[in-house]
Amino acid sequence: MKHKAVLRVSSKLLMPPIMLFALYVQFHGDFGPGGGFQAGVIFASAFILYALLFGVNQARRVAPAGVIRTTLALGVLLYAGTGVVGLLLGGNYLNYSVLAHDQVHGQHLGILIIEFGVGMTVASAMITIFFIFAGRGRDERGE
């Protein structure tokens, strides 16, 4: 893919809007269709586009495996941890009403946090799986 100038330039232009759209879907999930799952997938697709054009090795440098694995676990931890915080504040597990003074505010906050956790985990999982699948074929061809 060294010489596909048009593809490289146009996808470079596309990548920021893809990520921005992912964040919009992530944080606008309360008001329109969308949420953590969809946002995570869209966010991951930006990285996958990068990896397709510039090679998996280059993309690995942008998103190191250690960081991706950390966010992979951190997303689940954020979700489950929100539940535990609710437990500590005197509510049931995963009851967000106790997170703020107002019940509705608490629910808003809880949903925002856990959706962010979902998005983190989904994005990291998709990136991990793609990098491993794509990177493995490269190894075996002896590059």
Partner 1 sequence: MAVIGLAYIFLRNLFAVVMLSGMFSLTAAVLYVVMDAVDVAFTEAAVGAGIATVLGLATLGLIGVVNEKPSKRSFLGPFLVVLVTGAVLINATLDMPDFGDPNAPIHHHVAPRYIEDSGREIGVPNIVTSILASYRGYDTLGEVTVIFTAACGVLVLLGRTRRRKPHGQETGDRETASGDGEAAK
Q: Determine, following the binding rule CB under 8 A, whether residue 38 of this chain makes contact with partner 1.
A: yes
> Of the two residues 9 and 73, which places its CB atom closer to partner 1 in the complex?
73
- Closest approach, Cβ 8 to partner 1, in A, equals 18
Q: Determine, following the binding rule CB under 8 A, whether residue 35 of this chain makes contact with partner 1.
A: yes
Tell me how far apart the alpha carbons of residues 98 and 116 are, in angstroms, rounded to a whole number.
19
CB contact at 8 A, 91 and 98: yes
- Closest approach, Cβ 111 to partner 1, in A, equals 4
Helices (H) and strands (E) in the chain, counts: 5, 0
- Each as own residue / partner, the long-range contacts of residues 59-64 (CB below 8 Å, 24 or more positions apart, any chain) are 59/131, 60/131, 60/135, 63/127, 63/131
Contacts with 60 (C-beta within 8 Å, 6 or more apart), sequence order: 131, 135
Please identify which residue in 18, 53, 80, 87 interacts with partner 1, judged by CB under 8 A.
80
Chain residues in the site for partner 1 (CB under 8 A):
25, 29-35, 37-38, 41-42, 44-45, 48, 69, 72-73, 75-76, 79-80, 83, 94, 96, 103-104, 107-108, 110-111, 114-115, 117-118, 121-122, 124-126, 128-130, 132-134, 136-137, 139-140
